[in-house]
Structure formats: C-alpha cells, structure tokens
Amino acid sequence: MAKFKFTNDALQIELSFWERLGSMSRNRQIPFSEIAQVEAVEEVKMRIFGNRMMGTGLPKVAVLGHFRKDKKRMLVYWVRPQQAVILDLNSGPYRRMILGCSDARALAKEITSHLPV
C-alpha cells in the first residue's frame, strides 16, 4: 500500500518496489495548490479507471498504472480490498489520481485540511 506523507506544501506518495514496478511509475509529490478536488470512495467500481495505457491490471484485484478516460490522463494505485481517494488536479501530466488506502474518508479529510482556502 502506498504511504502518504504531508509536508507544509505538498502530499508525498511513496510506493513500494512492487507498486513502482507494477505501475511503471515512481514516487510522487503533489503540491496542495495543484489539488482541485478530493473525493473519498469506499467501494471502488472498475469503471472509474478508464482505458489502461501502461501498467498492471488484474481484473477486480489490482489496478496500477497510467490510464485515460474522457481525454484525461490518470495515475492509479489501487489493490482490492482497498478504498480509494480521487484527486482532481489543476495541471500537470495527470488530471486525476486514484490512490488506494485503508480509510478513504480519513485520508480525504487530511488532504482537504492542507488545501489552500
């Protein structure tokens, strides 16, 4: 499971070796000023992911990697039975990130508390 750390101005996402390999991605740092919206999803539906461009997908088990839906690029780190937090971003290569976690409401609340007013 990805680890989330909070600095004064950014959310840091640290992935395990296997998550980096499966998602064909790296650890990320997202400035709070780039986060437009935060949504907690307790029951993840496969249709939210869109079309995988590269990464790893085991249907209804794990979704890791780069996706595209409605002309928006997404970065996804999610493994069943995790809940998820969806971040809509203002700019950058990805317009949305879907992050697996054990308690989506708590993580969404923590991220929201760091966003600029």
Say what the pLDDT of residue 49 is: 67
Say what the pLDDT of residue 33 is: 95
Say what the pLDDT of residue 69 is: 81
Residues 62, 93: Cα–Cα separation, whole Å: 23
Phi/psi at 89 (5° precision): -110, 150
- CA-based nearest residue to 87, from 28, 35, 25: 35
Sign (positive/negative) of CA torsion 6, 116, 9, 43? positive
Domain count, the chain: 1
Is 23:56 a contact under the CB 8 Å cutoff?
yes
Say what the pLDDT of residue 53 is: 75
Residue 52, strand partner residues: 67
The predicted model scores a pTM of 0.86
Say what the pLDDT of residue 46 is: 62
pLDDT digits (tens, 9 = 90+) for 41-65: 988 776 666 677 777 877 778 888 8
- Write out the residue range of the structural domain in which residue 41 sits: 3-114
The parts of the chain modelled with pLDDT lower than 70 are 46-50
Say what the pLDDT of residue 105 is: 96
Say what the pLDDT of residue 48 is: 63
